[in-house]
Structure 1
Amino acid sequence: MDTESWARRRATPLTGDEPLHRGGEPVPASVLDFWRWSSSDLLGNAMRGVLAEFIVGTALDCIVGTVREEWDAADLKTSEGVRIEVKSSAYVQSWHQTKAFNPVFGIQPTLGWDADTNLTSERRRQADVYVFCLLHHRDKLSADPLDVSQWTFLVLSTERLNEVFDQQKSVTLGSLRSRAHPAEVSYDGLRAGVEAATTAQGPTTVR
């Protein structure tokens, strides 16, 4: 095969109606069926993290017409070119627990990967701003990750994160709040929170 045959193949948004098929002959299952099967547990760690990226992306209006790039160096990029890393945690999970979990966020430096070149960059925190998404609702039975009012968003510049935590790989919610003083915002305050972190205006509270 020529070089172009191995170039990046960009995904396009699906509708959910696309059928499973056998050489063009539809099989009685669709992409929507696949999504229902694979992605319905929004309270578990894996899908809650992806949902958090989606929620932040909708607030920043930067995901319309795009498809999530699973291994990209940063989770989101705004129209102004600001790279956003999204981390999520919660007090409750979908599985059995005997008490509320202590929220912890991963903050380890990473090797940035470029989907177009398949090359990596130096190990560091790749984004410009971190958004820590806390599902703060503590009642497991009524927890609803789709309810944006059940989330709190803590926004911090990567510069500040590096200054306070250096090469640390994870941070508890308490330590993040007490040592780095991120802006704590609601869904409607996310855009202003990210803008404030980008311009290094310091910690604020935006509702």
Structure 2
Amino acid sequence: MLDFEATSGGVPLDALAVPRRSGTEPFTQAGAAAGAVLTDFWAWACSDLMSNRLRGVLAEYIVALAMGAGDGVRTEWDAVDLRLPGGLDIEVKSAAYVQSWSQQRLSRIEFNVAPAKGWDARTNTVATVPHRPSRVYVFCLLHHTDKATVNPLDLDQWEFYVTPTTMLDAALGTQARVSLARLQTITPSSVTFGELAARITECMEG
């Protein structure tokens, strides 16, 4: 088993308690402000919201926002993307037709749904058998196709396909990727951001 636990002199080092930062925290040198604050770093590192990795993190936040859970701190590398009260574990996947880089054509839409031996951040353990541990998948498609006006902060440019994990398992087995056309045979209709929370709750209760 992969061991994520660091030790120092044989004494286990507990996971860090990560505070939610405001962005006003300064960089310092010798105890004095060094001329930049945390939002300067965020602007430098996170302005390209169309990049594949950052768009995926943004999609997780959008789903958390819809569920009234956008005030916490994201856990990196957990087996599921969102853990909400009541045992609702959500996996979030994102895709877009347009990308940051130069394109010859719009991107083909497909999502990664591969079962995995995920690491559980709560227990510091890794699953022994590949599986999909969430109860619900939310597939977030940035459906806007005009590169000049695409804006991932405009929630009207997104559509969402909410699928119980049991339905994915039944339809796809151990398949690693699913195209949009195939997904639409499993979950025929998408929802808007305003409808997202109700659909997730419906799938959880169903």
State the TM-score, normalized to the length of structure 1: 0.90
The aligned counterpart of 1:135 is 142
Question: RMSD value over aligned CA atoms?
Answer: 1.6
The aligned counterpart of 2:34 is 27
The aligned counterpart of 1:82 is 88
Aligned pair partner of 1:156 in 150, 160, 163: 163
The Cα of 1:111 is off from its aligned counterpart by 1.6
The Cα of 1:198 is off from its aligned counterpart by 1.4
1:120 counterpart = 2:138 = no
The aligned counterpart of 1:53 is 60
| Residues paired across the two proteins, number | 198
1:189 counterpart = 2:158 = no
Conservation of the 8 A alpha-carbon contact between 1:7 and 1:116? no
Aligned pair partner of 1:10 in 10, 17, 22: 17
- Structure 1 residue runs without a partner (length 5+): 201-207
1:94 counterpart = 2:100 = yes
Question: 1:111-132: CA deviations, max 9, x gaps?
Answer: 2212244211232101100000
Conservation of the 8 A alpha-carbon contact between 1:62 and 1:77? no
The Cα of 1:26 is off from its aligned counterpart by 2.0
The aligned counterpart of 1:198 is 204
Farther off after superposition, 42-51 or 158-167: 42-51
Quick one: structure 1 residues 183 and 23, their matched pair in 2 at CA, closer, same or farther if it must change by over 3 Å?
farther
The Cα of 1:2 is off from its aligned counterpart by 7.1
CA distance in 2, matches of 1:88, 1:68: 16
Conservation of the 8 A alpha-carbon contact between 1:18 and 1:31? yes
Farther off after superposition, 157-166 or 14-23: 14-23
The Cα of 1:43 is off from its aligned counterpart by 1.2
Conservation of the 8 A alpha-carbon contact between 1:113 and 1:120? yes
- Structure 2 residue runs without a partner (length 5+): 1-7
Matched residue of 1:125: which SS? coil
Conservation of the 8 A alpha-carbon contact between 1:183 and 1:193? no
State the TM-score, normalized to the length of structure 2: 0.90
The aligned counterpart of 1:204 is none
CA distance in 1, matches of 2:16, 2:81: 19
Conservation of the 8 A alpha-carbon contact between 1:8 and 1:115? no
Conservation of the 8 A alpha-carbon contact between 1:154 and 1:185? yes
The aligned counterpart of 1:67 is 73
The Cα of 1:3 is off from its aligned counterpart by 7.0
